[in-house]
A and B are shown apart, each in its own frame.
Chain A
Amino acid sequence: MAANNPSVFLLSVNGQIEGANFPSYDDLYCKYCFVYGQDWMPTTGLEEGITQITCKGSQSSHKLIWNFPLDITFKSTNPSGWPQLVLSVYGPDVFGNDVVRGYGATHIPLTPGKHTRTLPMFVPEPTWRLQKFTSWLWGRRPEYTDPKVVAQGEGREVTRVCSQGFVTVCFNIIMKDMKKLGYDSGPSNSSNTQSYATTSGWSTDET
């Protein structure tokens, strides 16, 4: 019977794109998509999405809040090519053109339980100073034609980027049949909250 002798395992991801901290930008929206290896298949849920446009609250915390749901289930035979969440944030510049404000990526957590991830967001930089000025003037900043390149390790050595913000995402991970297939992904941690930003005096709570 299939239940006794499984050949695939399931990874169920529930979570939300909570919000962002971009000190110098406002009125932003976020697109998400998943990048995964060839052994992986989404079974239910949306692979891509786009959030509302939000601006900073007038209250003490100047966070951008999206509160946008993520709900997807994957199946696979092999952990290699583990899915990554790729985010890209867009917003208007001074002339009202939509320009990109950050790209970021993270692996879906590999242990069951609740996880909070703070993704650093970066944009590619123009190579020349003059290009920097003209791109500001015409509202055509350098962009990746496909945001999925930020989930790839190859071919990044030629890009110069500028990191300028953070997005907070929380995940609830449930896995099925990993143990039965012989995989040991470690103890499930129920409260794994962490932030890259805490070390850099640039925490998500301030400004």
Chain B
Amino acid sequence: MAELHIIGQLVGATGFPHNSLFCKWGLNAGGAWRLLSGSKQGQTQVDNPQTGDTAYWSHPIDVHYATKGLQGWPKLHLQVWHQDSFGRCQLLGYGYCHVPSSPGHHRISCATWRPLGSWREQLSQMFVGGGPQLRSPDIIYSGADRYRLHTEAMGTVQLELAVILRNFDKYGVDS
């Protein structure tokens, strides 16, 4: 079986309306993919930077997949949350990116978005925070059921991923 190593970091996030951010992340792969080692989901620390508007997480990712097919190449999906000084959490953005298919080191900027509610919800969000969230998080990485959503642009998440492939060329796969 061909093997794929994804080793890297969730570096941080920039361009969000609040500081004190954390991120929930997960990897999603097709049925032919088997996770051999490493954790495929996690949650970062909450960073409140002293200066600047970039929150740094330096969250390590080290995952090892084996696969029998190319369908369902792994995707990384992200949820950026804000934690205020009382410990309340508020969703600030959803995003996903494909794991790069070429071996080597990659710097990825993942743009994020969040759902917009009705004007009443937007007004209350301005004063008390909160806001709508997706009921099923699969919509973050699937394109099937998005057409009625109204969304708003949010900041970007920076990732550093290194990809190592093994035995793909043995099965005639060019990468």
Chain A residues with CB under 8 Å of chain B are: 23-24, 37, 78-82, 84, 104-107, 109-111, 119-120, 122, 125, 150-154, 156-157, 159-164, 181-187, 189, 192, 194, 196, 199-202
A150–B56 alpha-carbon span in the complex (Å): 12
A23 in contact with B51 given A79-B7, A185-B162, A186-B103 (CB within 8 Å): yes
B11 at the interface (CB under 8 A from A): yes
Residues of B within 8 A of A192 (CB): 105
B104 within 8 A of partner (CB): yes
Determine if B98 is an interface residue (Cβ-Cβ < 8 Å): no
Q: Which of A125, A156, A160 contacts B42 (CB 8 A)?
A: A156
Q: Is the CB of A107 within 8 A of B8?
A: yes
In whole angstroms, how far apart are the Cα atoms of A137 and B169 in the complex?
Answer: 61
A81→B47 contact, CB < 8 A: no
Closest B residue by C-beta to A127: B87
Given contacts A107-B60, A120-B56, A200-B52, are A182 and B158 in contact (CB under 8 A)?
no
Q: Is the CB of B48 within 8 A of A81?
A: no
6 A/B residue pairs, CB under 8 Å, sorted by A: A82-B7, A162-B48, A163-B56, A196-B11, A199-B14, A199-B158
Name A152's contact: one of B60, B103, B104 (CB within 8 Å): B60
On chain B, the number of residues with a Cβ less than 8 Å from chain A's Cβ atoms is 51
- Residue with the greatest number of chain A CB neighbours at <10 A, chosen from B22, B45, B51, B175: B45
B146-175 near A? 1/0 per residue, CB < 8 Å? 000000000000100011111111100001
Q: Give chain B's interface secondary structure class.
A: strand
Q: Which residues of A contact B59 (CB under 8 A)?
A: 153, 156
Q: How far is the CA of A81 from the CA of B37 in the complex (A)?
A: 9
Q: How far is the CA of A136 from the CA of B49 in the complex (A)?
A: 18
Q: Given A80-B37, A164-B49 in contact, is the A196-B105 Cβ separation under 8 Å? A: no
Q: Which residues of B contact A162 (CB under 8 A)?
A: 47-50
Q: How many angstroms from the CA of A163 to the CA of B22 in the assembled complex?
A: 13
> In the bound complex, what is the Cα–Cα distance between A154 and B56 (angstroms)?
17
Supposing A192-B105, A200-B53 touch, asked if A120 and B166 sit within 8 A by C-beta, the answer is: no
- Residues on the A chain within 8 Å of B43, using CB: 156-157
Q: B38 touching A80 by the CB < 8 A rule?
A: yes
Contacts of B165 in A (CB 8 A): 183-184
Which chain B residues (45-97) contact chain A, with CB distance < 8 Å? 45-56, 58-62, 64, 83
Find out whether the CB atom of B51 lies under 8 angstroms from the CB atom of A105. no
**Can you name the residue of chain A whose Cβ is closest to the Cβ of B64?**
A80
Q: A152-B60, A184-B175, A200-B14 are in contact. Are A106 and B48 (CB under 8 A)?
A: no
Contacts of A194 in B (CB 8 A): 107
Q: Specify the chain B residue showing the minimal Cβ separation from A201.
A: B52
- A82 and B56 form a contact (CB under 8 A): no
- Bound-complex Cα distance A162 to B48 (A): 5
With A79-B164, A182-B167 as given contacts, are A154 and B39 in contact (CB-CB < 8 Å)?
A: yes
User: B47 contacts which chain A residues (CB < 8 A)?
Assistant: 122, 160-163
Residue from the set A153, A164, A181, A186 with the largest chain B CB neighbour count within 10 Å: A153
How many Å lie between the Cα of A120 and that of B52 in the bound state?
12
Among A78, A105, A111, A122, max chain B CB count under 10 A is at A122
Which of the residues A110, A111, A183, A189 comes within 8 Å of B166, measured between beta carbons? A183
List residues of chain B with CB within 8 A of the CB of A79: 5, 7, 64, 164
What are the residues of chain B within 8 A of A185 when measuring CB–CB? 103-104, 162, 164
